[in-house]
Amino acid sequence: MTQTLIATLVAVAIYLAELGGVALAISRKRDAPSAIAWSLAIIFLPVIGLAAFLLFGLERIPRRLKRKAAQARNVRDLFKRQLTDSQAVATMEARRGWQGLGLLAENAGAPPIMEGNDVKLLEHGQPAFDAIIEAISAAKHHVHVEEYIFRDDRLGRELLDAMIERARAGIKVRLLVDAVGSFGNWRTIRHLKKAGGEGAVFMPLLPWFKATFPNMRNHRKIVVVDGRVGFLGGLNVGEEYAGRRFRNRHWADAHLRIAGPAVSEVQRVFLEDWDFATGHMPEAAECFPMIEPCGNSRVQILSGGPDDEQNALRQAYFAAITSADKNLKIATPYLVPDLAMREALKTAAMRGVDVTILTQGKPPDSWLTYWASRYYWDELLCSGVKLFEYQRGMMHAKMVLADHAWATIGSANLDNRSLRLNFEVTASFDSPGDIRLFYERFESELKRARQVTLRGFRKRSLTARAFEELARLASPLL
């Protein structure tokens, strides 16, 4: 009798949990296919499906973290009001930018376009890290580093050694790493703290910490030195990003060094994340020195994350695709666009815009994303989108270039994860010199790629088609 009662109570508990899970899936998922898919998973896989949804299906951060995000937005609004009085802020006409994208992003929460910056597109691999280490070694006041992946390998130790040397010299050094991307590399933070620096983990996974939300990650790659020099782009910290790990394989990426007023906004993004992770906001006076214009580049920093309903980054990407008149060049290693982005790409190509997408061939790091990406190739190719698979090695750059008039480089891929689930940061430009350089980099990498034709793609095997069908079920998470 007791066993029967226990079994009945367990069955009732599972049934109620299923109902609650389905209700949560319907209320939280904005698109109907995703809501239906998760609901069916919860119903037919009661325990596994519900657990998977709670871990990976929720796209909104918990209420406690929303309060922190609100505090960060207050800092952002104060910072924007201060910026409007700065001589570095572009004129209202210039702030509109190409096709109004600058003003669109600003109205979605981004800072205004900043003038007077010096921007360098770093060379691939080791030269980029040499520039970062050189800047860290020259720090006079503070070093802020934020990475999705920070490996405990030779390159990671080289960067850590530079940070430790500055920390021992009395410089304030802060390191923020993502709990998933840098999982297991707690040695780096311990060594930095031992040398007098500070370290933190973004949204730890262990339940006795503050939250367990593995689906929402900090994918940003930021270095700020003394509040005057900043780095951002696609490079994590690891041997492969310097082109060392994969023999005879090239690692193509896009990473920027920025000096000038726009660095203050990169700094602001780091400080928001630092406060998000630690509950401590460093004094603004020590992090935001007066920066004189030092170049001719106009820069707007675009950030986005699951705490941001408007998400200036996603808005700018969508507007760039729908506004392009002549050409649209996109470099993204992971191409899993949601329905809105797919329709925007297809209609742009059908309007006669030269839509060219450079993506990764068979990757060394993410087979699931590779197969999910290929599921959408047929409909893109049918609409006139040109697809190129990188052949030389790993194509990890994230670039969007439009009409030789607007460009972005940063950490965001053209996929649902980057544009909805991850915390990302990019820099956008409308200055002709920068855009010309970015187009040259794109075209040079395009020469190392193979164009995918519709006829050739449709000859793929049944096994490949099966992999694509299975992988695309995970598209909302990729």
User: Any catalytic annotation for residue 338?
Assistant: no
| DSSP E strands, 188-331 | 198-202, 222-225, 229-233, 250-252, 255-259, 297-304, 327-331
Distance CA 217, CA 276 (A): 12
H/E run at residue 194:
helix 186-194
| Six-digit token string for 388 | 């190129």
Which of 308, 398, 415, 430 is the catalytic position?
Answer: 398
H/E run at residue 373:
helix 367-374
Q: Give, as one character, the DSSP assignment of residue 50.
A: H
Rg of the Cα atoms in the chain: 23
Q: 100-106 long-range CB contacts below 8 Å, 24 or more apart?
A: 100/319, 101/316, 101/319, 101/320, 101/323, 101/406, 101/428, 102/300, 102/428, 102/430, 104/312, 104/315, 104/316, 104/319, 105/300, 105/302, 105/312, 105/315, 105/316, 105/428, 106/300, 106/312
User: Any catalytic annotation for residue 124?
Assistant: no
User: Any catalytic annotation for residue 226?
Assistant: yes
Distance CA 163, CA 95 (A): 37
Which of 178, 273, 396, 415 is the catalytic position?
Answer: 396
H/E run at residue 425:
strand 424-429
| Six-digit token string for 235 | 């490079």
Which of 178, 253, 403, 415 is the catalytic position?
Answer: 403
Distance CA 467, CA 476 (A): 16
Which of 29, 178, 191, 226 is the catalytic position?
Answer: 226
Which of 144, 221, 255, 346 is the catalytic position?
Answer: 221
The total number of residues written for the chain in this structure? 478
Active site residues: 219, 221, 226, 396, 398, 403
